[in-house]
Chain A
Amino acid sequence: QKEVEQNSGPLSVPEGAIASLNCTYSDRVSQSFFWYRQYSGKSPELIMSIYSNGDKEDGRFTAQLNKASQYVSLLIRDSQPSDSATYLCAVYNTDKLIFGTGTRLQVFP
C-alpha cells in the first residue's frame, strides 16, 4: 500500500463548478497535511496546509481532514480554467514530506 494515495484523474469540471480532490494516507501518526498545485513545467506551489480535523477555508479553497478515516480533501469553489493543474497531496511524516502521485484537474469553459 502506498503511503499517500490519490486518483490520478484527469478530473474534468466545468467553469464555476466545485472541484473535489481526495487523498488517503496510511500512517495514522501523521500530523501535518498539505496541498500543492503544480502547473505543467513549474515546481510545486503550496496552496493549503491543515493540521486538525475539520475544515479550513482560504478564499476559494477548502481543505478537509478526517484523521479517523485517514482522509484529506481539497475543494475548489467556482473553478476557473486557470485552476487547471496537477494537485499534489503531501503528508508530513517522521521529518519528511511524502507526496501522492497527484490528481490532474481540467477546468473547461
Chain B
Amino acid sequence: SAVISQKPSRDICQRGTSLTIQCQVDSQVTMMFWYRQQPGQSLTLIATANQGSEATYESGFVIDKFPISRPNLTFSTLTVSNMSPEDSSIYLCSAEDDGNTIYFGEGSWLTVV
C-alpha cells in the first residue's frame, strides 16, 4: 500500500486568499486524485492529477478555482484559490496502487473565515 503525506494538516484562512496543499507519496504511482469532503458529506472527486499534463476536472470544478500540479510520479499540489467560507472542507489526496486500490492521505482541514 502507498503511504501518503499531506500538508498542511489544518489551516484557518482569510476569505479571498489562496492556499496550496501538498501531497507526497512514498512510491511512484500512476494515478493521483484530489477529493473534497464538506462537513457531514461524503467524498467528492475534484480532479485526477495527471503527471506531465493538465489535470482532469470533474463536473462542477474548474482549473481557475482549483489549479493542480503533478510534476512527477510521487508529488502533487492542489491550490484552493480566492477562498470563500463555502470552501471550508477537508481536502484529501489519494493515490492508486498497481492493484487499482486507492489510499488516502490524512487530509487537510481548511476553515475559511
List residues of chain A with CB under 8 Å of any chain B CB: 32, 34, 36, 42-46, 49, 88, 90, 92, 95-102
**CB closest residue in chain A, given B45:** A96
Number of A-B contacts (CB under 8 A): 45
Query: Per-residue CB proximity of B42-53 to A under 8 Å, as 1/0?
Result: 111100100000
Task: Identify which of A32, A36, A96, A100 contacts B48 (C-beta below 8 A).
Answer: A96
Residues on A with beta carbons closer than 8 Å to the beta carbon of B106: 42-43
Report the minimal beta-carbon distance from A105 to chain B, rounded to whole angstroms. Answer: 15
Report the minimal beta-carbon distance from B85 to chain A, rounded to whole angstroms. Answer: 20
- The answer on a CB contact under 8 Å between B102 and A97 is yes
The answer to whether residues A96 and B43 also contact, given A34-B102, A43-B107, A46-B103 and a CB cut-off of 8 A, is no
- The answer on a CB contact under 8 Å between A95 and B42 is no
Task: Identify which of B33, B92, B104 contacts A96 (C-beta below 8 A).
Answer: B33
Task: Identify which of A42, A44, A98, A101 contacts B41 (C-beta below 8 A).
Answer: A101
Residues on B with beta carbons closer than 8 Å to the beta carbon of A45: 104
- The answer on a CB contact under 8 Å between A88 and B42 is yes
CA distance A95 to B45 in the complex (A): 12
Chain A contact residues: helix, strand, loop or mixed = strand
Residues on B with beta carbons closer than 8 Å to the beta carbon of A36: 104
CA distance A96 to B96 in the complex (A): 10
- The answer on a CB contact under 8 Å between B107 and A99 is no
- The answer on a CB contact under 8 Å between B105 and A43 is yes
Task: Identify which of A42, A43, A49, A95 contacts B101 (C-beta below 8 A).
Answer: A49
- The answer on a CB contact under 8 Å between B42 and A43 is no
CA distance A43 to B9 in the complex (A): 11
List of 7 A-B pairs having minimum Cβ-Cβ separation, nearest first: A43-B107, A99-B43, A101-B42, A43-B104, A99-B42, A97-B102, A43-B106
CA distance A32 to B100 in the complex (A): 8
The answer to whether residues A98 and B105 also contact, given A43-B92, A92-B100 and a CB cut-off of 8 A, is no
Q: Is B31 an interface residue (CB 8 A)?
A: yes
